[in-house]
Amino acid sequence: MIKKPDTQDEMYSQTFGKKPFEQAKSYAYAYMDGIHERNVFPTDEAVKNLAVFDEPFPAASSNAAELLRILHEYGSPATVTQTGGRYFGFVTGSSIPTALAAKWLADVWDQNAALYVMSPINAQLEATCEKWLVDLLGLPADTATGFVTGSSTANFCGLAAGRNELLKRQCWDVNVDGLFDAPKLRVVVGGQAHTTIFKALALLGLGKSRVEIVPTDSQGRMIADKMPELDSRCLVITQAGNVNSGAFDPIDEICDRARRVNAWVHVDGAFGLWAAGSRTKKILTQGIDKADSWAVDAHKTLNAPYDCGIILCKYREILIAAMQVTAAYIPHGEQRDGMQYTPEMSRRGRAVELWATLKFLGKDGVEELVDRLCDHAQRFADNLRAEGFRILNDVVFNQVLVACDSPEHTKATLENIQKSGECWCGGSVWNGEPAIRISVCSWATTVADVERSVAAFVTARNGAIFP
């Protein structure tokens, strides 16, 4: 039970005493120390034990130490070890320890990133990150950034900016007059665009199906020659990094076509845009500087802690106009107000860990990280091929699609891999065929992790029982 505090000191020690933090810290260290030993995916027992959380809402206050103990005892083993070196499911990324430590500190600050007057430090770090990102990615000067949860929201913001601007050029203010009776826009999108693109289109009133789909090649890239004739009503959506194959659309050529007619080009570069930070991978992102908006996730390839996405827009005023909120009590001054660039008002100060990630790595570190993830993906492909697996994609970035002799064998092998606890990969379907999907996106992955995982693939395949 919480006793009603009588003094300021007592109140402080009850609500802000350091004991819970010490306790949480020791659990966190125990978790870090065990991360390489334990199953990558929780054991059946750990999952079963989650039933302890399935209780009625307690009537009375709970004991702090006991609550933290339960969280660690039952919660920690039921996590997926995406901060370890052998998690290859989805394109999640890990977190760089220095950045995570900075986030711990920022958690204690508990800043609201909406306005400068709510957090000068966060506003400063947003401004610094903006400058660094524009430099790192080679985007036009004065490109504006908004710091959001991830690329789902970043895509939404970029497409909102594009929609609004294309309509404004036709003398239609969608913020004021809405979409009913608005001049028609055309949405041009690759056949393998990420599902969040369609979600954003739906949220923006542009419709998931009112799109012109551009055919894709064997790697999932838009075929520029098969694009429809573009005009100034077109919102063109390209992709830097296909979630299955890792392939990049021919953005340079698409941008050239779009520029000739004043169409808007958005780049969904959730994990792939970081290729721009590597001298050997940069070629994949050629021409991105000619686009109008970009979405990227720092929590993926860059290994910033969750959640950390960025919308970048070449025209500051257009992004601000699309996200605009005004109210008498909201003072916008000379300084950066983060909420002007994002859909949310209250937000956590995620620029802190982004800044820490970028400052810790530096340009060389980003390049080394990107190159290392790609090298590991290549190593996976080479070693698995040598073991008799089929590699279904051209490995150009961090993604590898793997198959066995038959669809049934592939599915059974994947199931065994997932059960093994040795590593974790997801499944997908590639050109109509089931595939095991490897995403290498943790700084913590070593050559030994790749080799151990390949061995797990072989064991899983050899032991696979299928009809």
Burial of 95 (0-12, 13-18, 19+ CB in 10 A): buried
The least distance separating ligand PLP from the CB of residue 243, rounded to whole angstroms, comes to 5
Tell me if 297 contacts ligand PLP by CB under 6 A: yes
Q: Which stretch binds ligand PLP (CB under 6 A): 148-156, 168-176, 366-374, 379-387?
A: 148-156
Q: Which residue, 243 or 291, has its beta carbon nearer to ligand PLP?
A: 243
Q: Please give the single-letter amino acid code of residue 239.
A: Q
Query: How many residues line the site for ligand PLP (CB under 6 A)?
Result: 13
DSSP β-bridge partners for residue 378: none
Q: Which residue, 309 or 338, has its beta carbon nearer to ligand PLP?
A: 309
Tell me if 271 contacts ligand PLP by CB under 6 A: yes
Q: Of the candidates 126, 130, 249, 268, which one interacts with ligand PLP according to CB under 6 A?
A: 268
DSSP letters, 252-307, are HHHHHHHHHHT-EEEEE-TTTGGGGG-TTTGGGGTTGGGSSEEEEETTTTT-PPSS
The least distance separating ligand PLP from the CB of residue 240, rounded to whole angstroms, comes to 8
Rounded to whole angstroms, what are the CA distances from 284 to 215, 277, 347, 401? Answer: 19, 11, 33, 19
The least distance separating ligand PLP from the CB of residue 280, rounded to whole angstroms, comes to 21
Interface map 91-120 toward ligand PLP (x if CB under 6 A): x-----------------------------
- What is the C-alpha to C-alpha distance for residues 299 and 314, in angstroms, rounded to an integer? 22
Cβ contacts of residue 240 below 8 Å, gap of 6+?
A: 248, 249, 251, 267, 268, 269, 272, 273, 275, 284, 285, 288
Q: Please give the single-letter amino acid code of residue 417.
A: I
Q: Which stretch binds ligand PLP (CB under 6 A): 95-103, 146-154, 159-167, 202-210?
A: 146-154
Tell me if 194 contacts ligand PLP by CB under 6 A: yes
The least distance separating ligand PLP from the CB of residue 198, rounded to whole angstroms, comes to 11
The least distance separating ligand PLP from the CB of residue 271, rounded to whole angstroms, comes to 5
Longest dimension (CA), the chain: 75
Tell me if 151 contacts ligand PLP by CB under 6 A: yes
Cβ contacts of residue 99 below 8 Å, gap of 6+?
A: 303, 304, 305, 353, 354, 356, 357, 360
Q: What torsion do the CA atoms of 404, 406, 412, 418 make, to the nearest 10 degrees? A: 30
- Number of residue whose CB is nearest ligand PLP: 150
Q: Which residue, 162 or 241, has its beta carbon nearer to ligand PLP?
A: 241
Q: Which residue, 167 or 206, has its beta carbon nearer to ligand PLP?
A: 206
Q: Which residue, 91 or 444, has its beta carbon nearer to ligand PLP?
A: 91
Q: Which stretch binds ligand PLP (CB under 6 A): 42-50, 209-217, 263-271, 418-426?
A: 263-271
Q: Which residue, 90 or 315, has its beta carbon nearer to ligand PLP?
A: 90
Burial of 309 (0-12, 13-18, 19+ CB in 10 A): buried
Q: Of the candidates 270, 302, 339, 352, which one interacts with ligand PLP according to CB under 6 A?
A: 270
Q: Which stretch binds ligand PLP (CB under 6 A): 44-52, 104-112, 265-273, 368-376?
A: 265-273
Burial of 208 (0-12, 13-18, 19+ CB in 10 A): middle
Tell me if 309 contacts ligand PLP by CB under 6 A: yes
Tell me if 353 contacts ligand PLP by CB under 6 A: no
Task: Report the length, in residues, of the chain.
Answer: 467
Q: Of the candidates 93, 150, 220, 250, which one interacts with ligand PLP according to CB under 6 A?
A: 150
Tell me if 152 contacts ligand PLP by CB under 6 A: yes
The least distance separating ligand PLP from the CB of residue 152, rounded to whole angstroms, comes to 3
Tell me if 196 contacts ligand PLP by CB under 6 A: yes
Exposure pattern of 175-189 as b/e (b: 16+ CB <10 Å)? eeeeeeeeeebbbbb
Q: Of the candidates 35, 129, 211, 243, which one interacts with ligand PLP according to CB under 6 A?
A: 243
Q: Which stretch binds ligand PLP (CB under 6 A): 4-12, 126-134, 208-216, 268-276?
A: 268-276
Rounded to whole angstroms, what are the CA distances from 28 to 33, 106, 363? Answer: 9, 17, 30
DSSP β-bridge partners for residue 236: 188, 265
**Which helix (H) or strand (E) element contains residue 459?**
helix 447-462
**20 HSE (CA, 13 A, CB side):** 14
**Lookup: tokens for 390:** 């089929």
Q: Which residue, 159 or 403, has its beta carbon nearer to ligand PLP?
A: 159
DSSP 71: I
Instruction: Find the angle CA(430)-CA(299)-CA(213) to the nearest 5 degrees.
Output: 40
Rounded to whole angstroms, what are the CA distances from 408 to 89, 267, 401, 434, 464? Answer: 20, 36, 16, 8, 10
The least distance separating ligand PLP from the CB of residue 154, rounded to whole angstroms, comes to 7
User: Which one, of 218, 209, 258, lies nearest residue 238 by Cα?
Assistant: 258
The least distance separating ligand PLP from the CB of residue 463, rounded to whole angstroms, comes to 32
Q: Which stretch binds ligand PLP (CB under 6 A): 112-120, 150-158, 177-185, 205-213?
A: 150-158
Tell me if 310 contacts ligand PLP by CB under 6 A: no
Instruction: Enumerate binding residues for ligand PLP (CB under 6 A).
Output: 91, 150-152, 194, 196, 241, 243, 268, 270-271, 297, 309
